[in-house]
Every structure is written in C-alpha cells, then in structure tokens.
Amino acid sequence: MNKNEIADVLNDIAVLLELKGENPFKTRAYQTGARTLEALEEDLATVIAEERLGKIKGFGEALVQKITELHTTGHLKFYEDLKATVAPGLIEMLEIPGLGAKKIKALNEQLGIDTIEGLTKACAEGKVAALAGFGEKSQEKILAGIRNREAYSKRHLRAVAFDVAEPILAGLRALPEVQRAEHAGSLRRGMETVGDLDFIVAASQVAPVVEWFVSRPGVKEVTAKGETKASVRYESGLQADLRIVPAEQFVFALHHFTGSKDHNVQMRQRALARGLSLSEWGLVPAEGEGTVKAKAAGGPDVSLKIIDEAELFSHLGLKFIPPELREGLGEIEAAEVGELPRLIEDGDLRGAFHNHTTASDGRNTLNEMAAAADALGWEYLGISDHSKASFQANGLNEARLMEQIAAIEALNASGRFRVRVLSGSECDILADGRMDFDDATLAKLDYVVASVHNAFAQTEDVMTARIIKAIESPHVSMLGHLTGRLLLQREAYGVNAAKIIDAAIANKVVIELNANPWRLDMDWRLWRRGAERGLMCAINPDAHDTGGLTYVHHGVVAARKGWLTKENVLNTRTLAEVLTWLGGRKR
Ligand code: DGT
Ligand code: CA
Ligand code: CA
Ligand code: ZN
C-alpha cells in the first residue's frame, strides 16, 4: 500500500473507534498519524527500511507497527477485527449527510438504532427529535438525507461507471466472435451520472459473447438473458445491458442506444421528412408502420449500407455530431448548417489552476505536485491552498501564505522542474461577501480562486449577492465551484447562476469548471449560453493529490457537453498568454 492508501485506513480506524466510543485521544492519534503520513516528504519505503518511522513526530509505537504492516502486506489484522465489531448499519449511516460518528453513536446508545431502517422509523415516531443535541430540525434533515440517499443510489458517478465499463469493453473486443464493440447510452454521451451501462456488439455468434458477459467477476445477478441481449447487475448495484446485432445493423444500434431519447426523436423526424425510416435496425424507405421490424425479422435486407455514424449523419444531410452533444438541444440544427463547435480535447490543456498541497488539506507536497505536473507535460501548475477561514481544511493564514509564495519562487528559480508553478489561493468568500484575505495580501498572488465553503443555508438572494461581491473584488481572478454541489451526495446551495455569469463577464472573472468527478461544477448545461456571451472557463482539477491532476479529463468531457471550444478555456493558452490575461484583467 502507498502512503495515501495507508492514511485512508488510519482515518477509517479513527471513525470506527469513534463509533465505538473509544477514548478521543486514541481517535485523534490515528487522525494525526494519517495527516503526518500524508505530509511525509520522504519515500515511505526508505523510511521503513531504515527503521526511522518511530523517529517522526506523530508516530507512536502502535502506529509504526500498523503502518509497517499495511505497507508490507497491504492488510492489517487490527483493522479487519475492528470492522467486524461494528454493526454494518452504523457504517452505512455515515453516508447520510449531516450524520457523523458522534451522532450515530448517540443514536445507537440511546435508542438502540443500528440500521438505516431503524433510524427512519425512529425519525417518523419523533424519537430522534426528542434526543439531547438533535431537535426537530435535525430530525427533518436526517429524513431528507435518507430519502436523497435512496434516490441517489439509483444513479452512479460517471467516473466510477467508466472504470467498470472500460475493462468490459476491452474484454468484449478481444473475443474471437466479436467484430465491433462500443459502449453507448449516457456514458458515451459524457453525462455526469449514469443509470446503467449499455454495450453494443456486432458478433458472428451470440451465445459465447453472452456467456462471457454474464460470467464476469463482480456480476451479482443476471437479470435477463435472451437471444440477442443480456442484462446483469454488479456488486456495486450498477447494471449493464448488452445488445448483440449482426454487423450490418451495428451503426444503427450504436446510434439508437447512444441516444439521447430527444436526439433520437428529432433524428427520426428528420429521416421521415426525407422519406426514410430510421430505427435501431436500419435506415429504409418509409413505407408505413412496422416495415423495418418486419424486414429485420427475416425479410430482404433493404437498409442502406452504412458503415459508421459519420455516414449515417451525412445521409441525413448532417455533419457528424459528437456523442456529447446528442441531447436534443439544437445540435441537429447546428449540424445542418455546419455550425457545430470544434470541441475542446484533452490534449488542448497546458496546465491548470486550483490545486492543493499538504500546506492545507492536500495529500502531496508542493514538490510532489510539481513533479506530477511535469510528468503530465504541463507548462504551468497553479497552487491554491485554502485560506484561514477554512480552518477545517487547515487553511493558510497570511504568514503561511507568504512562506508558500517564497517556497514557490525558490522552486521555480531552482530549475528543478520544467513546469512553472503559479502562486494562488483558494480564498474563502466570507458569509458577508468579503474575501478572507485583504487586498494587499491578494495582490501578492499570481491569481485568486474565490470559493464558498460555509453558510450554505443562506437564501438564494443573499448567496447571489455574496458571490457577486467577491467577483467585484479587485484581485479575484476566478470563481471556484459555483454551487457547492457534490453529485449524488449533497445538493447545490441556492444561487442565481444567470446573475453570477453576468457579473463574471462584466468583471472579466473566470468561472471554473471544477473537474473533480463529484463536482463538475459549474454544470455543463450553463456553459454554452455563457460562453456565447463571453464567459471564460478554466477546467480545474481541484486536485488534493498527484493523481487528482488527471481529473481534468472529466472536466473536458463536461466542457464538451457544454459546447466549449479551446478558445473558451483559459488553461489551453500558453503560460505567457495566461499571465497576460490574469495580470491585465481588472486594470
Ligand atoms: P441512463 O442509463 O438513465 O443514464 O440514460 P441512457 O441515455 O443511457 O438511457 P437508457 O440506458 O435507458 O437507454 C439508452 C439509449 O437508448 C437512450 O439514450 C436512447 C435509447 N432509448 C431507450 N429507450 C428509448 C425510447 O423509448 N425511445 C427512444 N427514441 N430511444 C430510446
Ligand atoms: Ca444507460
Ligand atoms: Ca440501458
Ligand atoms: Zn473548494
């Protein structure tokens, strides 16, 4: 296990100990241990080999043993045993927003609750409100949290679904019977969450492909198994549909099952207007209801021979429409007149802003982040750790910020990396709209990301005015995660996006497309109109470790759904252009 994985286990142990009501000092020792490990500059393997772990402040004897065991074996008996002593229902309850280990323990001790069902019942009976430290409001919030959790569990984060889908697609393509295979549906369209996976396969034989698909490791249940299709449910709850078609139908099936439904309806209408009938089986002269199906079921093959989607679109007088744009939101009209945008691609990015280090709540040091950006071939890496009001994230005060600026200057001067590190801050927008640092402090930075991290319950009007005040602040260069949403976990706070976009354009402030797959905030649905009116985007990974830098890919997918070109995105520009843009904005 690497140091970040070990730190995760230590944090888990702390939560489990808290659920069990163990001594708070013990809990804190594990949390401190996790933080110390994350901040460790040296190579962990070396430190362990040289038996120097115990010399580091924050690691007692017990921690040294556990870290060593995790590092060398990838397992820890103490952790496994501890997990076995805590009811799984209690751990599940941690997924309910607003419920921490302390409250769960109180519910368990005082009301004997150890499942989510039990908790729902106790809330309905008003027993939770009656507990000290809870009250009516908190009972309502718990109930709402449970309902959200159920609704959310029906969909899955795109990044998670993609990781499941990729090896299946590769496996399908490697089967000898398979001629072509693609994923379709919302995953192919780049939606931020997906309901289920859809695979389309052209194969010479059906049965062996179906057998392979239903017997993958991780398949918990086979929900359908037929002549041309199969459906399964994986252990995570994610489901997948497989459809197998003859090679000549592949393109039509792929287009149909990529969707969206709205796009399909408009495409079918367009075909009909040209005397053609478009379906998942083919494109044929429209002769009335049922024709295509009858032909597909054994009649002569009269469908036009079409080998790829570009040809399908061109038969209907359209330029190729990238899957991300197929939402029935005007893409067909644009494709007709040749006005589809040239969408941004991964390779267009030259760097990113909004990244964290161990100075605040990141898990890798400045040097490690710079090395990782270098390895990605980036020209620049913006470091924007939290500011002091975000004390829960170990935000920097003025003195620590000045130290960081000096460290970044020294690193750049050292020539150790090719990447140029930029000094920024993710500066809190305080509840009244003032910035957490004064102007003189902010003026020392290359750029400033302004973000809301507290007082989420403000009314929409108050929140909107608060953010606009920050946008008008002279040193703010970009707005971080506009709505604070966490997909499938936490609703957005109320904010008037149209007004914020107007203010950002007027003040030449960038709005970020936070590329963390749980955020993807600002939402793709708002970018097209914004960019048309002159809004500038930055695709920001909000990386909290070196691996997080590659989140930019998810941001690019969302940007493509938002019709953005590389001209709309600041971090496609060269370092010199970026510095000019950031420096010249408000003067
Ligand atoms: P999801 O799975 O909820 O994230 O969304 P999709 O878009 O993947 O939907 P899914 O899996 O139900 O179906 C895949 C595609 O198949 C969908 O995008 C369009 C097409 N499709 C499914 N049902 C219908 C339908 O009733 N009418 C039309 N025109 N197309 C459909
Ligand atoms: Ca789907
Ligand atoms: Ca489906
Ligand atoms: Zn933030």
Residue 568 Cβ contacting ligand 1 at under 6 Å:
no
The residue assigned the tokens 């920050």 is: 470
The DSSP secondary-structure symbol of 21 reads: T
Cα separation of 254 and 199, whole Å? 9
Instruction: Tell me the C-alpha to C-alpha distance, in Å, between residue 241 and each of 4, 107, 204, 215, 530.
Output: 35, 41, 19, 14, 36
**pTM for this predicted structure:** 0.82
Q: Indicate which residue's Cα is closest to atom 5 of ligand 1.
A: 186
CA distance 519 to 480: 11
* Contact yes or no for 254/286 (Cβ under 8 A): no
Distances (CA, A) of 8 to 15, 19, 33, 82, 363: 11, 17, 11, 15, 11
For residues 418 and 374, is the Cβ–Cβ distance under 8 A? yes
Q: What is the enclosing helix (H) or strand (E) of 468?
A: helix 460-472
For residue 286, what pLDDT is reported?
83
d(CA 530, CA 399): 38
Q: Whose CA is nearest to atom 27 of ligand 1?
A: 261
pLDDT averaged per 10 residues, the chain (length 587): 90 92 89 88 90 89 93 93 92 84 92 94 94 91 85 87 97 98 98 97 96 94 91 91 96 97 96 94 77 49 83 97 98 97 98 97 96 98 98 96 98 97 98 98 97 96 98 97 94 96 97 98 98 98 97 98 98 97 71
Pairing of strands 449-451, 239-245: unpaired
Tokens representing 340 are 């589809």
* Residue 348: closest CA among 478, 539, 517: 539
The values of phi and psi at residue 454, to 5°, are: -150, 180
Q: How far does residue 231's CA lie from ligand 3's centre (Å)?
A: 9
Q: So what's the pLDDT on residue 299? A: 44
200 Cβ inside 6 Å of ligand 1: no
Q: How far apart are CA 475 and CA 479, in angstroms?
A: 12
Helix and strand numbers, DSSP H then E, in the chain: 25, 16
Could you give the domains of the chain?
3-144 (1.10.150.110), 154-243 (3.30.460.10), 246-340 (3.30.210.10), 346-585 (3.20.20.140)
Q: What is the pLDDT of residue 40?
A: 83
Q: List, in sequence order, every residue forming a beta bridge with 477; answer none if it has no partner.
A: none
Ligand 3 centroid distance, CA of 198 (Å): 5
**Cβ–Cβ contacts within 10 Å for residue 163, how many?**
10
Bridge partners of 560?
none
Question: Do the beta carbons of residue 283 and residue 253 sit within 8 Å?
Answer: no
> Cα(482) to centroid of ligand 4, in Å?
10
The ligand placed nearest to the CA atom of residue 197 is 2
Nearest ligand to the C-alpha atom of residue 451 = 4
Give the distance (Å) from ligand 3 centre to CA of residue 5. 34
Q: How far apart are CA 377 and CA 31, in angstroms?
A: 34
Q: Which atom of ligand 1 is nearest to the CA of 260?
A: 18
Q: Could you tell me the distance, in angstroms and rounded to a whole number, from the CA of residue 231 to the centre of ligand 1?
A: 14
Atom of ligand 1 minimally distant from the CA of 185:
8
User: Which ligand has its closest atom nearest to the C-alpha of 223?
Assistant: 3
The candidate with the shortest Cα–Cα distance to 473, out of 523, 433, 518, is 433
Q: Give me the DSSP letters along 161-192.
A: HHHHHHHHHHHHHHSTTEEEEEE-HHHHTT-S
Adjacent-strand bridge partners of 156: 194
Beta carbons of 421 and 411 less than 8 angstroms apart? yes
**pLDDT value, residue 290:** 46
For a ligand 1 pocket test, name from 152, 257, 269 the mutation site with the most ligand atoms within 8 angstroms of its C-beta.
257
Give yes or no for residue 327 CB within 6 A of ligand 1: no
CA-187 nearest atom, ligand 1: 8
Closest ligand 1 atom to Cα of 186 = 8
Please state the atom number of ligand 1 nearest to the C-alpha of residue 194: 4
Q: Long-range CB contacts (< 8 A, 24+ apart) of 61-68?
A: 62/29, 63/10, 63/29, 63/30, 63/33, 66/10, 67/6, 67/10, 67/33, 67/37
* Tokens found for residue 394: 């170990």
Q: 25: which residues sit within 8 A by CB, 6+ positions away? A: none
CA–centroid distance, residue 155 to ligand 2 (Å): 10
185 close to ligand 1 (CB < 6 Angstrom): yes
Q: Which of 353, 250, 358, 240 is CA-nearest to residue 309?
A: 250
Nearest bound ligand to the CA of residue 541: 4
Q: How far apart are CA 143 and CA 121, in angstroms?
A: 10
User: Distance (Å, rounded) from C-alpha 210 to C-alpha 230?
Assistant: 6
CA of residue 241 to ligand 3 center, whole Å: 5
For residue 551, the 8-state DSSP code is G
CB 164 less than 6 A from any atom of ligand 1: no
Q: Is the CB of 517 under 6 A from ligand 1?
A: no
DSSP 547: G
Ligand nearest to the CA of 280: 1
Report the separation in Å between the CA atom of 415 and the middle of ligand 3, taken as the mean of its atom positions.
52
